Chain A
Amino acid sequence: SQTIHQWPATLVQPVGSPLSLECTVEGTSNPNLYWYRQAAGRGLQLLFYSVGIGQISSEVPQNLSASRPQDRQFILSSKKLLLSDSGFYLCAWGGQTNEKLFFGSGTQLSVL
Chain B
Amino acid sequence: AQSVAQPEDQVNVAEGNPLTVKCTYSVSGNPYLFWYVQYPNRGLQFLLKYITGDNLVKGSYGFEAEFNKSQTSFHLKKPSALVSDSALYFCAVRDPYSSASKIIFGSGTRLSIRP
B41 touches A57 (CB 8 A): no
> Within 8 Å CB of B106, what residues of A?
43
A106 touches B42 (CB 8 A): yes
- Closest-by-CB residue of B relative to A88 is B41
> Within 8 Å CB of B34, what residues of A?
100-101
> Within 8 Å CB of A27, what residues of B?
none
Q: Which of A34, A88, A101 contacts B46 (CB 8 A)?
A: A101
Contact with B along A23-40 (1 / 0, CB 8 A): 000000000101010000
CA gap between A103 and B41 in the complex, in Å? 12
Q: Measured between C-beta atoms, what is the minimum distance from B105 to chain A in Å?
A: 4
B88 CB within 8 Å of chain A? yes
> Within 8 Å CB of B103, what residues of A?
34, 46, 49, 94, 98, 101
CA gap between A55 and B22 in the complex, in Å? 35
From 16 to 52 in chain B, residues with beta carbon under 8 angstroms from any chain A beta carbon are 32, 34, 36, 41-46, 49, 51
A109 CB within 8 Å of chain B? no
A51 touches B101 (CB 8 A): yes
CA gap between A108 and B94 in the complex, in Å? 26
Contact with A along B47-72 (1 / 0, CB 8 A): 00101000000000000000000000
Whether A44 touches B45, Cβ cut-off 8 Å, given contacts A36-B105, A98-B103, A100-B34, is no
Interface residues in chain A, defined as those with a beta carbon under 8 Å from any beta carbon in chain B: 6, 32, 34, 36, 41-44, 46, 49, 51, 57, 59, 88, 90, 92, 94, 98-106, 108
Instruction: Show 12 residue pairs from A and B whose CB-CB distance is below 8 angstroms, ordered by the A residue.
Output: A43-B90, A46-B103, A49-B101, A59-B102, A90-B44, A92-B44, A98-B101, A99-B32, A100-B34, A101-B44, A104-B43, A106-B41
